[in-house]
Amino acid sequence: MAMKFSTEDFKERIKENIGDDFMRKAVAGAQERLHTRRLDAAEELGNWEEWRSHGEEIRQHVLENLDYYLHQLSENVASRGGHVFFAKTGEEASRYIKEVIQKKEGKKVVKSKSMVTEEIHLNACLEEAGCEVIETDLGEYILQVDDHDPPSHIVAPALHKNKEQIRDVFAQKLDYDRTSKPEELAMHAREMLRKEFLTADIGITGCNFAIAETGSVTLVTNEGNARLVSALPKTQITVMGMERIVPSFEEFEVLVSLLTRSAVGQKLTSYVTALTGPQGEGDVDGPEDFHLVIVDNGRSRILGTEFQSVLQCIRCAACVNVCPVYRHIGGHSYGSIYSGPIGAVLSPLLGGYDDFKELPYASTLCAACTDACPVKIPLHELLHKHRQVIVEKEGRAPVSEKLAMKAFGLGAASNPLYQMGSKVASTVMKPLTKNDRISKGPGPLKAWTELREFPAPEKERFRDWFTHHQKEKGDGKS
Amino acid sequence: MSGTIQNRDAFLANVASSLGRERKQRVERPVWKFQPQHHVLKDASQEELVEVLRSQCRLIHAELIETSLADLPKRLAAAVNLYGGGPLSLWKDERFSGFGLDELIHKQWPAEKKEVNIWDPVLGEKNIELAEKANIGITFSDMTLAESGTVVLFSSPDKGRSVSLLPKQYIAIIPKSTIVPRITQAAEAIRGKIEGGEVVPSCINFITGPSNSADIEMNLVIGVHGPVKAAYILVNDC
Ligand code: SF4
């Protein structure tokens, strides 16, 4: 899957996705659950702001000194017997990985979730070379089995599918004959994939954080697939975006605490694994051969610019989970593997304005994303900067905000997205309000209100509304 | 044996030039302005940490069994029976002996026709096969994090990664003395080892309950690729 997965234009994608009722319900439900869990987890720490500031200072320091830490990392990987390949472009990275696999005469590749390998089109490259490539994260596996359906969320890639759809896909492609119960579906995936893990020659993983001081790579999962990918095949290849690095275990600890809380509201996920080099002397499991591929692919062009802070990102999706626009249009509308606010900032930088110039307009600039970000990336400011750059470059906006909002199926003035995000007086909504709730509205509001009964945004901003709404709902935890 | 490094100089020169400066040869790790991690559970007693661990275990779907040292064999035997018996996969770890489990492992279980496989580097790949067909994997916890309910496992030739991963279910024996407030203390301990000249184990696992996924409609499913159930046996060794 390339970074860009759709040739349809932005408006077409949005139209298609807004029509998908299940998708929109799923997205709204997931946003709420994840958001609530994140708030709970953050609240428990007491001083969340201090944690965020610490996360920010660590990430800023690393970016400022990135050459030093990457050098240190590579020295320490090599001293433990691992091989390091620095790849300027995605093609270079893919070519190197393909060559390693061919040298090993590898046929079967098992993969744990990695955004950067999608960004560099790795699977297609390996499949062309005759390898069988199997995604093992449950969500990614479902998408792969369903003829490579693109991901719609950076943490929960199959969010847009319901369990009946998944059952049908499994029945069609995997001769599955049980029910649509998530437990049974997951158990089937476990059985199918266990065989693959045991017979694969090559394991490919992403990297949540590399640790410079020890030459370690770390993997954060709940399912345990990354552990299997790194314990069983004889060759392990880990692919990392060059910015995903921390100085030592002490900074790693802080960032992993921020990541798991922000992504899924857990204090730690079921498995956090720190791997250093290939298997040690006398070890039985773990890879005999370990390769670390460090990928630039456009990142160095962001360094030193006003967009540098986007490289602080730890891919937690907290910004996605609070975004009212994402909630409405869903992940596929972005047309990039990176969706939501982070996708709207990052995609034009990595993939170019030509393909992604509408994305900075897929925002109400309400700042909910910035407030949610555990490493304090000023996302809404970066979106605003993008718009300035685009206007400067093209002399005019490719889509005006008004038009973009129209493309979401909503009239701009009465758009509740705006009402939630800013303290704009909500007089236009008054006629539709009964008992402080907006019920199904006519015209432009219809698409939105059908999504769910929304409380009137009156004076509340989105996050106030959210807290309020959660309280109203009782504990509502999952 | 040292590994290879390719394309480094050009790559890092480009990074430095993007940052608008020459390459840096030396960077001191800063003294951080913010250090909130040290305040979490700072003055908690060992008893209070146990209480935190207890309540966390409920959230992570891990069963917590508390026992005295004397009752450990009995409680472990019962837990194994509850999970459906053998085959069992164990680390080669002198702590089993030190905690009085020799009799159970070498006499009682074999007498009950429970297959016991102890990880042994001499057996090579066979270990993995045995772990894969095991019903339960059993290890000690090297460090235990109260806040998150996490057991930390350091791998070694005798302590394969597969034992806590491939069996259908997993039991961790937690000596109470291994409990620390949170992952902060584990990170410090690991750095301390390095500074003391030890090499970092090839694999450090932080394990928090059984494997799970919420990838299907955000419904929590317990048991995906790793163990489908997990129990912690907390032994009072203090
Ligand atoms: S931008 Fe911030 S909130 Fe969004 S994914 Fe990255 S780290 Fe998480």
Contacting residues of B for A71, CB less than 8 Å apart:
8, 12
Q: Is the pLDDT of residue A455 over 70?
A: no
Report the CATH number that the domain containing residue A176 is assigned in CATH. Answer: 3.40.50.10420
The segment with the largest mean pLDDT, out of A2-16, A340-354, B213-227, is A340-354
Residue A88: what are its φ and ψ, rounded to 5°?
Answer: -70, -40
Question: Tokens for B111?
Answer: 């007498």
Contacting residues of A for B217, CB less than 8 Å apart:
26, 162-163, 182
More confident residue, A468 or B118: B118
Residue A365 lies in a domain: no
CB pairs under 8 A between A and B: 303
Per residue in A19-71, pLDDT (tens digit) is 676 677 777 777 777 777 777 767 677 789 999 999 999 999 999 999 999 99
| A271-293: average pLDDT | 96
| A314-338: average pLDDT | 90
Which residue's alpha carbon is nearest to atom 2 within ligand 1?
Answer: A373
Residue from A333, A426, A347 nearest A382 by CA: A347
Question: Tokens for B35?
Answer: 């250090």
- Which secondary-structure segment (H or E) carries B140? strand B136-140
Facing B40 at nearest CB: one of A45, A78, A88? A45
Contacting residues of B for A29, CB less than 8 Å apart:
218
Nearest CA in chain A to B26: A68
Number of structural domains, chain A?
2
Enter the DSSP assignment of A272. E
The CA distance from A336 to A334, in Å, is 5
| A365-372: average pLDDT | 92
Residue A390 lies in a domain: no
- Least trusted range by pLDDT, from A40-44, A289-293, A306-310, B30-34: A40-44
Asked if B217 and A187 come within 8 Å (Cβ–Cβ), the reply is: no
Residue A323 lies in a domain: no
| Residue that finishes a domain, picked among A250, A279, A295 | A295
Question: Tokens for A198?
Answer: 């045991």
Contacting residues of B for A156, CB less than 8 Å apart:
214-215, 218
The CA distance from B141 to B176, in Å, is 10
* CA A263 to ligand 1: nearest atom: 8
Asked if A304 and B202 come within 8 Å (Cβ–Cβ), the reply is: no
The CA distance from B6 to A425, in Å, is 59
Q: How many CA atoms lie within 13 A of A117 on its CB side?
A: 28
Q: Is residue A383 within 6 Å of ligand 1 at its C-beta?
A: no
The CA distance from B24 to A118, in Å, is 32
More confident residue, A33 or A301: A301
Residue A198 and residue A51 share a domain: yes
The string of DSSP letters for B24-85 reads PS--PPPPPS--GGGGTTTT--HHHHHHHHHHHHHHTT-EEEEEETTTHHHHHHHHHHHTT-
- Least trusted range by pLDDT, from A50-54, A325-329, A444-448, B88-92: A444-448
Per residue in A92-145, pLDDT (tens digit) is 999 999 999 999 999 999 999 899 999 999 999 999 999 999 999 999 999 999
Q: What percent of chain A has pLDDT over 90?
A: 61
**pLDDT number for residue A476:** 36
Residue A338 lies in a domain: no
Residue A227 lies in a domain: yes
What would you report as the CA-atom Rg of chain B, rounded to the nearest whole angstrom?
A: 21
Per residue in A246-268, pLDDT (tens digit) is 999 999 999 999 999 998 888 99
A131 annotated as ligand-binding: no
Asked if A216 and B207 come within 8 Å (Cβ–Cβ), the reply is: no
Instruction: For chain B, give every domain's residue range.
Output: 44-236
Residue A351 lies in a domain: no
Q: Are A383 and A360 in contact (CB under 8 A)?
A: yes
Facing A224 at nearest CB: one of B148, B165, B204? B165
Q: Is residue A155 within 6 Å of ligand 1 at its C-beta?
A: no
- Which secondary-structure segment (H or E) carries A12? helix A10-18
Nearest CA in chain A to B127: A284
Range of the domain at A266: 33-295
Asked if A78 and B3 come within 8 Å (Cβ–Cβ), the reply is: yes
Enter the DSSP assignment of A395. S
- Least trusted range by pLDDT, from A158-162, A172-176, A404-408, B217-221: A404-408
Residue A159: pLDDT band by 50, 70, 90 thresholds? confident
Question: Tokens for A352?
Answer: 């170019």
Q: Does domain B44-236 have CATH number 3.40.640.10?
A: no
Interface test with B, best of A72, A222, A264, A321 (most B CBs within 10 A): A222
**pLDDT number for residue A293:** 98
Q: Are A133 and A101 in contact (CB under 8 A)?
A: no
Per residue in B18-48, pLDDT (tens digit) is 999 999 999 999 999 999 999 999 899 999 9
Instruction: Give the gap in angstroms from C-alpha B41 to the nearest C-alpha of chain A.
Output: 10
Q: Is the pLDDT of residue A379 over 70?
A: yes
**pLDDT number for residue A471:** 52
**pLDDT number for residue B99:** 98
| A139-153: average pLDDT | 90
The string of DSSP letters for A129-176 reads TT-EEEE-SHHHHHHHHTTSPPPSSSSSTTTT--HHHHHHHHHHHH--
**pLDDT number for residue A440:** 31
A316 annotated as ligand-binding: yes
Residue A406 lies in a domain: yes
**pLDDT number for residue A437:** 34
**pLDDT number for residue A398:** 65
Which segments in chain B show pLDDT lower than 50?
A: none
Residue A1: pLDDT band by 50, 70, 90 thresholds? very low
Dihedral, B14, B19, B21, B23 alpha carbons, nearest 10: -50
| Residue that finishes a domain, picked among A237, A261, A295 | A295
Q: Does A174 touch chain B (CB under 8 A)?
A: no
| Residue that finishes a domain, picked among A270, A295, A320 | A295
Q: Is residue A153 within 6 Å of ligand 1 at its C-beta?
A: no
Q: Is residue A404 within 6 Å of ligand 1 at its C-beta?
A: no
State in Å: Cα A265 to ligand 1 middle: 14
**pLDDT number for residue A402:** 60
**pLDDT number for residue A434:** 32
Q: Is the pLDDT of residue A466 over 60?
A: no
Q: Are A123 and A150 in contact (CB under 8 A)?
A: no
Interface test with A, best of B215, B221, B222 (most A CBs within 10 A): B215
Q: Does A103 touch chain B (CB under 8 A)?
A: no
Neighbour-count burial of B198, counting CB atoms closer than 10 A to its CB (0-12 exposed, 13-18 middle, 19+ buried):
exposed
Place of tokens 């509740």: A416
Residue A66 lies in a domain: yes
Cα B203 to its chain centre, rounded Å, is: 10
**pLDDT number for residue A58:** 98
Complex ipTM > 0.90: yes
The string of DSSP letters for A71-118 reads HHHHHHHHHTT-EEEEESSHHHHHHHHHHHHHHTT--EEEE---HHHH
The CA distance from A454 to A433, in Å, is 10
